[in-house]
Amino acid sequence: MKIASVWAREILDSRGNPTIEVEVATENTLASAAAPSGESTGKHEAIELRDGGHRYLGKGVQRAVNNVNAYIAPAIIGMDVRQQEAVDTKMKELDGTRDKSRMGANAMVATSMAVLRAAAGSEGKMLHEHLGGSNLPHAMFNVINGGKHAGNGLAVQEFMIIPDDELFSERLRMASEIYHILGKQLVEKHGPAARNVGDEGGYAPQIGNTYQALDALVAAIEEAGYPHKCALAIDAAASSFFDSKSRVYKIDGKELKESELVDYYADLAKSYPLKSIEDPFQEEGFGAFAALKKELPDVQIVGDDLVVTNVARLKQAISEDSIGALLLKLNQIGTVTEAMQAVQMCRQNNLNVVVSHRSGETEDCFIADFSVGINAGQIKTGAPARGERTSKYNQLLRIEERMRVL
């Protein structure tokens, strides 16, 4: 089934910034995909191409759009849409850089995702069916936002709940109930402004202490009636509160050295049902990650900025025993093929995979299908609110229903 046409356009993401959407057509199907965009980004991520200048305050993506329409499209039209690796390799050859800075990772990932979706459509299948997956993921619902995703004083970027039930639909229901109860409790304690939300739909109350945020989650879970069916997780995004000059981490009004931050996380894990910690240290801290993993063997240590879905950095994390799970973000690496290679490496080394959104999202639900398709087991895609977040959860509901029927 050959690729008949490829077309890119500029659209808006959930923050009102431009991003790129790509359509790929074959003789019997038309598919599209849109690139997400991160606010808290690792310095080793593939490069997102922006225009600069005055238009959209420099954030336009017309250069990326033009790269698809003028260069990528002519190169891949006529190729078999089912040959994902060949298409992705062709784009990498066109780009010719290590960080995808010529074509732009945003241009390449939107094209790569659209090709995979078109391949599924050409076979009359949903994306997860095309990939062969059958397991609905457990979701980490981000219900309090901090760090770069909010305007409060919280250093930690995401405070998440992980409801547990056999059915995804029940896990989503529990999360929604907890989310609304949390909002009510925050208003009662901190006033109406506490229901303001951050980039990922979680509340952004004016509190500046990690313990207060976790206490709020526990209180909401208890009122909802799920104290034994819901765990907690955090994304520290510690690079954002790491002072590279003094080599300390500024959190909760303290300045902590690396070893002191290990003790800090250990106390959190002792005090709360904390099951997962993402990016607990700055993005070069392989040794610190390993020390925490050893200190907290029952807590999943997740690498995001540390690894950036990059096989070379993943190899280092594995060799140093730094992580128990990879946070997989397609736009960090720029092609589906390279993301799949990272997944394969995780499988070979008994690491978990958490498929993730970005803070700048669209209504595209690709990662919902993808998480099921690769049997990831876990997904992180924001609060159970805001359309760009619920689009993923609603797609998972559809997939679960389809699996029951079939």
DSSP 70: I
**CA distance linking residue 81 with residue 116, whole number of Å:** 7
Residue carrying the six token digits 């080599």: 247
Element (H, E) at 106: helix 105-122
Residue carrying the six token digits 């950036």: 308
Is the separation of the CB atoms in 88 and 335 below 8 Å?
yes
State the SS3 of 176-214.
Answer: HHHHHHHHHHHHHHHCHHHHCECCCCCECCCCCCHHHHH
Between strands 300-303 and 325-328, the pairing is parallel
Cα–Cα distances (Å) from 241 to 256, 289, 344, in that order, read 10, 16, 32
**CA distance linking residue 17 with residue 19, whole number of Å:** 7
Active site residues: 200, 329
Alpha carbon 183 to chain centroid, angstroms: 23
Is the separation of the CB atoms in 145 and 202 below 8 Å?
yes
367 CB burial (10 A radius; 0-12, 13-18, 19+): buried
Q: C-alpha dihedral over 305, 307, 310, 314, to 10 degrees? A: 180
**CA distance linking residue 29 with residue 31, whole number of Å:** 7
Which of these, 140, 137, 327, 296, lies nearest to 232 by C-alpha position?
140
